Amino acid sequence: MAPQRAADSNKRAKEVLDEIGKEVEKKATAEAVPYQNALQGILSQAKFHGQSIHVKNPCDLKYEIHTNVAKDREKENPCRGRVEERFSDSRSGQCTNRRIKGNNTENGGACAPYRRLHICDRNLELIKPDQITSTHNLLVDVLLAAKHEGKSLVDKHKKYKETHKDTNICTVLARSFAGFRV
């Protein structure tokens, strides 16, 4: 009998990598299950200044009131200080090989799309660890960032679409929030 190749002759390299990826994801998901509830935030259980927030719809959250940030209220605006231009043909994303621990710098690095470099998350940057009293309160600040990020992208995309007819806001939003998993 002839020796078989490392990968089954009927499988392409991509299929082998896809199978490995599925196994890794399956294992990681199984290992995460015991911790799922510990990391889950529930909006109705969030409290600020000792008071429940009584907000059921995340769209009703107000960054001036519902936040862990204890600075000047206007500074808590998730989009404050971010560039107005979110879509650019002249400016590209940023690539670096220094952001990933253990990355072999000779083989490139990670790239962030231009719009992700200026995401509306200023409120998250201003939170001090001792201000996060529960996952419920942290959820509020993450939801505020998502609310403002989505609004910013929708508003800016309207102008961008005037000259880029083939673009789709659903794709833009999906890519911007690709790191979030519900």
- State whether 144 and 164 are in the same domain: yes
Range of the domain at 36: 13-82+119-176
- State whether 129 and 167 are in the same domain: yes
Q: Is 108 left (phi over 0), alpha (psi -120 to 50) or beta?
A: left
- State whether 125 and 94 are in the same domain: no
- State whether 31 and 97 are in the same domain: no
User: Does any domain span residue 5?
Assistant: no
Rounded distance, CA 38 to CA 102, Å?
Answer: 29
- Give CA 107 to chain center in angstroms: 25
Q: What value does the CA radius of gyration of the chain take, rounded to a whole number of Å?
A: 21
Rounded distance, CA 88 to CA 163, Å?
Answer: 12
Closest among 59, 115, 108 to 83, alpha carbons compared? 115
pTM of the model: 0.60
| Local confidence pLDDT in tens for the 182 residues of the chain | 455 555 455 667 878 888 999 999 999 989 988 887 887 888 888 887 777 888 888 888 887 777 777 665 555 677 777 776 666 655 556 666 665 555 555 555 666 665 566 677 777 877 777 777 888 888 888 888 888 888 888 888 888 888 888 888 888 787 777 666 54
